Structure 1
């Protein structure tokens, strides 16, 4: 079958190649689930892996099949699989557990292992291929009515974790009622973060690079948020008009912006960093103002 692959940390190595078909017996004890890929989402992580900024191939392989956002349909299940049946729509959990205490209690996203295992990112093949096989505990069944949007489940889990962690941290205050939020970045994660924050009743300002109007700025306004182009007004300049921000959700992939965001965060506010940046940018900032 065909797959889109890279040689990790090697720029311009992306290629289409033939790879072996997966089989149920790759998973022991009759617990395999064979899934046919229907849709794959691509994001900034895939772009950075393609650029050679990070990523790792599975043991025994010199290449990595890309893609970590995959919707599929079950084609076949092992003899001891009761959780799924052929024709079920599924999305795979991207990270598999390692050996840390957090992995053992079902919180693999909080692992302290140096080597983590993520489909299409590090040490596990991804979904830019035709089929894959996995264990049922690493699959999420999708209701039929959500199949058209289920490829967005993985990025939605990112923003939901960020928002949930912000509220969890603020339990220390006993009372925290955020009113205003800023979302830095108007890509897929930014739009999903805006949706999540609007559903929680916050006044949301989204900062994007491009000038309005275009599709994403229109979507921002359709859900009751406001859009600000940083080509026309910087985050610092816009903060007096639309802040103070009780919660800032950063999803730009541009690390220097983090330090600007710190300076416009409201009292007892939370800054959520969702970007994974693999570059080597540096910035000079007012270190004494951080504390």
Structure 2
């Protein structure tokens, strides 16, 4: 069957790869789930893997099937599968376990090992193909009523985790009741993080470079939040208007901005970094100022990478509630469909060249 792959370490190596069709019998103990892929979302991670900035092939192969944001329908299940059945819409988690204690208890996203395994990213093949098989544990059912939001399930899990981790960490404060949040970046993660925070009752300001009116501003405002163009209002100027925020989530993947956030967070506040910065950029920061303010202000910086099953389930609940609260808004994120695996070059062109492509996804098959 067809798959879209790269040769890790070789820039611009994206190509069509022929691979064997899997079966449920490949998973032990009757726990296999065979999924027919309907749609796959692609993003900057796929572009950067094709740029050879990171990513490794599974052992024994010289290629890596990319694509880590999947939406499909269950085709067949092993005899001991209980959570899903043929005909169910599903998505799949990305991280797979290593051998640390965190991997063994189902929190693969918190592994303490240097080597990590992620489908479509590192040492495990991804979903940009016709079918895949996986263990029931990593397959998450998607309600039929959310099929129109298809590939948003995986990025939503990342947004849900980032916010959840901030609240989990702030249990240290005994009482933490944040009122104002900034979201840096209005890509898919930034917009979905805006939704998660809005549903928690915060006043949310989403910062991005583009001047309104634009689609990102329309989506942010559709979620009853405030869009701020940094071309018109700097973060410092926004702080002067709102006061220091209690929570800042960086979803830009632009390290200078991630570090700038540390200068503006309020007392007892949290900065969450979700962006990946592949490269060697250096930036200058007011380290003495940050040092004293962070110590005296009991401030917290945490990193958040992908998500486990629990976060996927949180995200699906928030997507369902958000879709009811703000009907028609979330599907506006799904901007650029590409029809068929054969059009992988167009898929990559959109990722590289089209700055207005908010969410690129591949229509692999119909249900």
2:48 paired residue number: 48
Per the alignment, residue 136 of structure 1 pairs with 136
Displacement of 1:217 in angstroms is 0.7
| Contact persistence 2:33–2:77 (CA under 8 A) | yes
* Offset, 1:183: 0.4
Distance 2:63 2:133 in 1: 18
The residue number in structure 2 matching 1:64 is: 64
Question: What is the Cα deviation at residue 286 of structure 1?
Answer: 1.5
How far apart in 1 are the matches of 2:81 and 2:164?
A: 32
- Once the two structures are superposed, residues 77-119 of structure 1 have per-residue CA deviations (whole angstroms, 9 ceiling, x without a partner) of 2233343321111111111111001111121111011111111
Deviates more, 1:265-274 or 1:18-27: 18-27
Report the counterpart of residue 227 of structure 2 in structure 1.
227
Q: Is 1:172 aligned to residue 157 of structure 2? A: no
What is the match of residue 155 of structure 2? 155
Asked if residue 35 in structure 1 is aligned to residue 35 in structure 2, the reply is yes
Decide whether the 8 Å contact of 2:68 with 2:120 is kept in 1. yes
Alignment correspondent of 2:181: 181
Native 8 Å contact 1:246 1:267 kept in 2: yes
Q: More helix per residue: 1 or 2?
A: 2
Q: Secondary structure at the match of 1:147?
A: helix
Structure 1 position 48, deviation (Å): 1.5
State the alpha-carbon separation in 1 of the partners of residues 258 and 82 from structure 2: 46
Q: Once the two structures are superposed, what CA deviation does each residue of 1:126-180 show, in whole Å capped at 9, x if it has no partner?
A: 1111110111111111222222224212111111111111111111111111111
Deviation at 1:236, TM superposition (A): 2.0
Distance in 2 (CA, whole Å) between partners of 1:261 and 1:90 is 36
> Does 181-190 or 29-38 show the bigger shift?
29-38
Query: C-alpha distance in 2, partners of 1:182/1:38?
Result: 34
**Contact 2:57 / 2:124 at 8 angstroms: preserved in 1?**
yes
Ranked by relative contact order (alpha carbons within 8 Å, sequence separation 6 or more), the top structure is 2
SS of the residue corresponding to residue 228 of structure 1 reads: strand
Deviates more, 1:41-50 or 1:263-272: 41-50
Q: Structure 2, unaligned stretches of length 5 or more? A: 292-367
Q: Partners of 1:79 and 1:268 in 2: how far apart?
A: 51
Q: Would you say the 8 A contact 1:205–1:242 is kept in 2?
A: no
Partner of 1:282: 282
Residue 214 of structure 1 deviates from its aligned partner by 1.0
How far, CA to CA, are the matches of 1:63 and 1:139 in structure 2?
24
CA contact (8 A) 1:35 1:132 kept: yes
Aligned pair count reads 291
User: What runs of 5+ residues in structure 1 fail to find an aligned partner?
Assistant: none
Deviation of 1:184 (Å)? 0.2
Provide the rounded CA distance (Å) in 1 between the counterparts of 2:47 and 2:141. Answer: 28
Q: What's the counterpart of residue 19 of structure 1? A: 19
Report the Cα distance in structure 1 between the residues aligned to 2:207 and 2:30, rounded to whole angstroms: 49
TM-score scaled by length of structure 2: 0.77
Equivalence for 2:211:
211
